[in-house]
Amino acid sequence: MDWYNSVFELIDMRSFSNLWFWIALAVMWSSTSHWVLGVPWDVAQRAHKEEEGQGVIDFEDLVRIYTNRILHIADTSGLLMAGFAFFMLTVLVLMGFVYGQEFAQALFLLGFPMSIVGLLSIITARRIQQNALRGEALFRQLQRHRIITQLIGVVSIFVTAMWGMLQNMTVGVLGG
């Protein structure tokens, strides 16, 4: 028996059976949950506990900076970015689910939920700016955004895990 073939039978390099894919998925959702609109969640919690002082000022300034940034990008190139995102997601759906490319399936299962989070971020940033939210109301809005993001992440991880297991079992049964 060839040593090289034995190693690569043991370490499958396909997307859903590759440990690095699952690490990337976990890191992506962990980071997305921690950085709410670009603001670290620990900064938001510290400001919420203080209720006034430098922590609250820093928190409100960070939210203002990041919401202005998000809305500027959305207003100046949002249509172009949306068109490109839809194009890429369509290409990934076709390559992955019509032509059976596992790598495209994996990229779609990473990218599609993140596009929903991106849209949610624009909506939240616009709501914060239009209502000029500050203090407790601002914290509650970011907390709501974080919870929805976490729910999207849970559903995404579940769907990805189920699809990945199905792919791994199908390849295992079909032998290749």
Counting the structural domains of the chain, the total is 1
Is residue 162 a part of any domain in this protein?
A: yes
Is residue 12 a part of any domain in this protein?
A: no
Is residue 2 a part of any domain in this protein?
A: no
Is residue 9 a part of any domain in this protein?
A: no
Mean of pLDDT values over 113-137: 95
Is residue 107 a part of any domain in this protein?
A: yes
End-to-end Cα separation, the chain, in angstroms: 19
pTM of the model: 0.85
Q: Measured between alpha carbons, how far is residue 10 from residues 21, 172, 175 in Å?
A: 16, 13, 14
Is residue 27 a part of any domain in this protein?
A: no
Q: How many CB atoms lie within 10 A of CB 79?
A: 10
Does the pLDDT of residue 91 top 90, yes or no?
Answer: yes
Does the pLDDT of residue 10 top 60, yes or no?
Answer: no
Residue 141 belongs to domain spanning: 52-170
Q: How many CA atoms lie within 13 A of 35 on its CB side?
A: 10
CB within 8 A of 150, min separation 6: which ones? Answer: 33
Give the per-residue pLDDT at 52: 81
Give the per-residue pLDDT at 20: 86
Q: pLDDT exceeding 70 applies to what percent of the chain?
A: 89
Give the per-residue pLDDT at 156: 97
Is residue 105 a part of any domain in this protein?
A: yes
Is residue 157 a part of any domain in this protein?
A: yes
Of 142, 140, 135, nearest to 52 by C-alpha is 135
CB within 8 A of 32, min separation 6: which ones? Answer: 114, 117, 149, 153
Q: Measured between alpha carbons, how far is residue 78 from residues 2, 74, 81, 87 in Å?
A: 53, 4, 5, 14
| Mean pLDDT (the chain, rounded) | 90
